[in-house]
Amino acid sequence: MTTALRRIVVVGNGIAGLTACDTLRAEGFDGEITVVGAERHAPYSRPALSKALLKLGDELGAHELPPATHEAMELLGVSATGLDVGARRVTLDSGDELPYDGLVIASGARARRPDVEAPVLTLRELDDAIALRAALSGCPEVVVLGGGVLGMEIASGAVAAGCRVTLVATAAPMSRQLGGFLAGMVERAAIARGLRIVTTPSASIVDRGGRAAVALADGTLVEADVVASATGDHANVEWLSASGVLSDGALVADGRGRVGDGVVAAGDVAHWRGASGVRRIPLWTSAIEQAKTAARALLREDDVPDLDFQSYFWTEQFDLAVKAVGDLPLVGAPEVIEGDPSAESALLRWTHADGSRTAVAANWRIPIPKLRRLTLAA
């Protein structure tokens, strides 16, 4: 371990920040850790917000994680506003400065919001989920803009709550993320359960005298009681803008999460350099694995291998649970290992042009390590 490290600051109290703290302790770091978290809540499961938390009959506890054991000083409801890498100091919104020997940047991402005054719901934080849950409770008519995974999960929650729901997308829902075959399977399940899907070359949210509506490319307006927007996210990098650690506005980490001297990054905030290039991988298990590697790299520098992690994706919507190990999207039709995709229950495998594989379980009970083994070469 680098003996000079006595004070480590972690900016971001999401799963990447939490995992970094836990890993530092597991690796034997017994110095001071300070976590700065803009949200007032303890870390929670963000994926639960668009799944279990939208089930109106259920208790509001599905997102909770076990209490932290890392014994860091937690500054909650506090934001980092600046970074001086030369002086090794983080500035807070209170004006206070936190000196550090090592810094973990784990400030995640936030929902992209339309530029209108009228009320539009987005879903990124626990408070957003509570607001959305409350809005759905009266069975309003809902329109969701955005055909990605999050838009479809919101639509699924709204349909399950008994709402009439229209989803507006600029391509077949989730086809860009999952590929046509898998996206088609979910789309059929969604339509069978009552979702109305409108595809249009472009769409935006407009303000109609204080009420939001979705405007389609041909000028048609889709109006509803509740308008939700799920059109992507922005990495939370603004507080780093004067620090010199950004490249073209992006926080780029190497294969161990290092972005500079004594500074590492992990999770949704960071672009990582990996076998498939430099990219952001905004997935829960990727944030965990990146945070473990980055925390170790902060303590042990070169004595840590590059992260070698096959990404794991899952979604739950319209009574379908889909798990995928390996790269997405998936081109063409799969090999059916077991089951029947047309019956919404199958174990599937795709082999990519480079020989790598992605294994998918759709409504199929299989432990993740076993699903992972299906991606290994025969």
Ligand X SMILES: Cc1cc2nc3c(=O)[nH]c(=O)nc-3n(C[C@H](O)[C@H](O)[C@H](O)COP(=O)(O)OP(=O)(O)OC[C@H]3O[C@@H](n4cnc5c(N)ncnc54)[C@H](O)[C@@H]3O)c2cc1C
The residues binding ligand X (CB under 6 A) are: 11-17, 36-39, 46-47, 49-50, 79-80, 106-109, 123-124, 150, 236, 239, 267-269, 282-285, 287, 313-315
Strand partners, 222: 214
CB atoms inside a 10 Å sphere around CB 172? 16
Kindly list the strands in the beta sheet with 165-169, ordered across the sheet, starting from the edge strand earlier in the chain.
196-199, 165-169, 142-145, 226-229
**Residue linked to tokens 């997405």:** 328
Strands 102-105, 7-11: pairing is parallel
Nearer to ligand X by C-beta: 208 or 279?
279
User: Which amino acid is residue 172, in one-letter code?
Assistant: A
Nearer to ligand X by C-beta: 38 or 361?
38
Report the nearest approach of ligand X to the CB of residue 208 (Å): 27
Nearer to ligand X by C-beta: 325 or 346?
325
Whole-angstrom Cα distance, residue 99 to residue 115? 37
Nearer to ligand X by C-beta: 289 or 344?
289
Whole-angstrom Cα distance, residue 276 to residue 347? 25
Report the nearest approach of ligand X to the CB of residue 178 (Å): 13
Nearer to ligand X by C-beta: 80 or 195?
80
Whole-angstrom Cα distance, residue 10 to residue 267? 12
Nearer to ligand X by C-beta: 303 or 319?
319
Name residues whose C-beta falls within 8 Å of residue 123's C-beta, 6 or more positions apart in sequence.
49, 50, 111, 129, 132, 150, 154, 228, 230
Helix boundaries (H) for 67-216: 126-136, 149-160, 175-178, 180-192
Nearer to ligand X by C-beta: 29 or 284?
284
Report the nearest approach of ligand X to the CB of residue 38 (Å): 4
Nearer to ligand X by C-beta: 36 or 245?
36
Report the nearest approach of ligand X to the CB of residue 4 (Å): 25
**Residue linked to tokens 């949210």:** 205
Strand partners, 325: 312, 359
Report the nearest approach of ligand X to the CB of residue 323 (Å): 10
Residue-by-residue DSSP string for 37-79: ESSSSPPB-SGGGGTGGG-TTS-TTTTB-PPP-S--EEEET--
Report the nearest approach of ligand X to the CB of residue 186 (Å): 13
Give SS3 for 293.
helix
Report the nearest approach of ligand X to the CB of residue 18 (Å): 7
Report the nearest approach of ligand X to the CB of residue 210 (Å): 27
